[in-house]
Amino acid sequence: MMVPRYDWTVDEVLAVIERPFHDLLADAHTCHIERFSAHSVEAAKLLSIKTGGCPEDCAYCPQSAHNSTGLTAEPLMDTKSIVAAATEAKAEGATRFCMGAAWRSPSDSQVQKVAESIEAVAELGLETCVTLGMLTASQATTLSHAGLDFYNHNLDTSADFYGTIITTRTYEDRLTTLANCRDAGIRLCTGGIVGMGETRRQRAGLLTQLATLNPHPESVPINLLIQVPGTPLHGLPEFAPLELVRTIAATRLVMPGSVVRLSAGRASMSEELHALCFHAGANSIFLGERLLTADNNGDDEDRRILDQLDTTLKV
């Protein structure tokens, strides 16, 4: 069994990504089945509990107040409505319920309101995950005491490409929030986005940053950019599908014990691309027809693809 490393360099990770394709997939799949079943994937459900109006200027995001996407800002959902959505998610086969709020850095009172929803969702027997923006140490502790299992806070890309995508929050801000959550006993869900115009080396830089966290993040979402009209990244060349497969495989090899989530962008992916990504080590997906504000595959399409691959949802 591959022993996890925490001393990866960008050159080493780039060399992994650039291995001959069939060798890369064979090694990634071998690594994957040493720790996980090749025939099941984790199912999560993601709900936008506070949509739009975010003051961050993330170039990919339709919820940014800097981007003209026609999205209407909405207030924080009440706990009763959130629990109703979580109950439905559990019935659909989800084992983790993720709640996202379009904030830069929530107030203590906002965190307390979300904490109440976390407690209520946890009572349903679901794992809980939230993404609320930057957190202070005390806010992370509040969420931990509420029973939060995971905090999602993506690094998005490498440090040297980050300023091209976001200027309102620093890379160090993101790392500080991850450290605050880890110190509070919350498991980490952190990954990035591919297809934003970054180079292979910059993708390697992202994976290196994640793989040198000790311990590795428990969940690593790999998102394929969804090009939304009105965002600065709309109109970029299409990301090469096999480059996504290489990224998934490299993620598996440098973080062998992490759950790798094939995340945003799946609605545009063929079943063959799904199959290659699962073979390369992806073992988690989001269920449902919506992913925050974007289209997602939908349960019927996911079950059709999984049936083709003799794969089930993990229970």
Query: Could you tell me the domains of the chain?
Result: 10-34+41-309 (3.20.20.70)
Annotated catalytic residue: which of 58, 174, 252, 266?
58
Q: Binning pLDDT at 50, 70 and 90, where does residue 62 land?
A: confident
Q: Binning pLDDT at 50, 70 and 90, where does residue 67 land?
A: confident
pLDDT per residue as tens digits for the range 229-250: 989 999 999 999 999 999 999 9
Q: Binning pLDDT at 50, 70 and 90, where does residue 73 land?
A: confident
- Residue 118: its pLDDT value, please? 98
Percent of the chain with pLDDT over 70: 98
Number of Cβ within a 10 Å radius of residue 31:
21
3-state secondary structure of 203: helix
Percent of the chain with pLDDT over 90: 80
Check if 189 is active-site: yes
- Which of 15-29, 72-86, 180-194 is the least confident region? 72-86
Q: Binning pLDDT at 50, 70 and 90, where does residue 20 land?
A: very high
Annotated catalytic residue: which of 31, 96, 98, 266?
98
Check if 290 is active-site: no
Check if 98 is active-site: yes
Q: Binning pLDDT at 50, 70 and 90, where does residue 8 land?
A: very high
Question: What is the pLDDT averaged over residues 172-195?
Answer: 98
